[in-house]
Structure 1
């Protein structure tokens, strides 16, 4: 009889051990899901804070002062300027060669653009201004074009999107608090190799 009792006790202890393992097996996937979800939420929050702008207002000295004329007023066409008020004029940019963002393939684009400038800006003053900003214009174009893929620059809609994005970039950079002075960006050449 003692042997029968020992056998029953061994079976009961084995069942208790199996019951503990099955409990762990049942809850382990849920624990893993909770840990992964918490990690992803924390990573998303951290990346959002990292890439978000500060949202803080500009310091007092950073903004334009009310008694100082802004850039658009300085470049405005007056009565003795050679271009007629309201008549657009054009400024040609230097060609930019940029590698496209194509993994595994070496593709590049050689792009030349012409800016259509508002007639409200004096042509001589505006040309001098854009000449002084030419390295910045070239850099902005290079960085923007390097981020595009082959699919981003093929087709009519995509090219118009590239033109409008370049126009917006330049207007935001050089004329942030005023009426846009660059009316259109015209493509002079845009071969892709």
Structure 2
């Protein structure tokens, strides 16, 4: 009888061990499935987002190509002293402004003194260090575009093209 009690007890312990190992196996399986599903979802959603972003960039580039270069407005050469100490450095710039529409050329002709004043003011406020680098030239273009567009009413300046740029 004592042997039968031992066997029953061993069977109960063995059954508990089997239940625990099955439960552990199920938990591991669920965790692996969750991780796999999460990774698959992430890559699928990210892939769609990347494709949408690529399509948007392509559409913007195509719109720029379709729009082409707008009308160009030439300005006379500017020669200004730079804001460096001692006033021994100067800047000589010739530029063309890209307009967004044909009607803006008439306004540009009427506002030419205002536009020249804005450009002269901005150029003479710069130092040699600010305009001697490629980043400085890009920042100068952006500032000029922003300041000129503030006074225009019938359109905007899209871009500025330096056709001559000498800083000495």
TM-score normalised over the length of structure 2: 0.56
What is aligned with 2:120? 142
Q: Deviations over 1:46-74 (max 9, x none)?
A: xxxxxxxxxxxxxxxxxxxxxxxxxxxxx
Task: Determine helix, strand or coil for the equivalent of 2:166.
Answer: coil
Q: Judge conservation of contact 1:94–1:138 (CA < 8 Å) in 2.
A: no
TM-score normalised over the length of structure 1: 0.49
More helix, by proportion:
2
* Structure 2 runs not aligned, ≥5 long: 1-65
Larger radius of gyration: 2
Q: Deviations over 1:154-186 (max 9, x none)?
A: 1111100000110011112214xx8x6211111
Q: Answer yes or no: is 1:167 the counterpart of 2:145.
A: yes
Q: CA RMSD of the aligned region, Å?
A: 1.9
Q: How does 1:17-96 map to 2 (within 5 A)?
A: 86-87=67-68, 88-96=70-78
Aligned length, in residue pairs:
102
Q: Judge conservation of contact 1:92–1:113 (CA < 8 Å) in 2.
A: yes
- The whole-number CA distance in structure 1 between the counterparts of 2:106 and 2:149 is 17
- The whole-number CA distance in structure 1 between the counterparts of 2:87 and 2:71 is 39
What is aligned with 1:153? 131
- The whole-number CA distance in structure 2 between the counterparts of 1:150 and 1:107 is 7
Task: Determine helix, strand or coil for the equivalent of 1:188.
Answer: strand
Task: Determine helix, strand or coil for the equivalent of 1:103.
Answer: coil
* Structure 1 runs not aligned, ≥5 long: 1-84
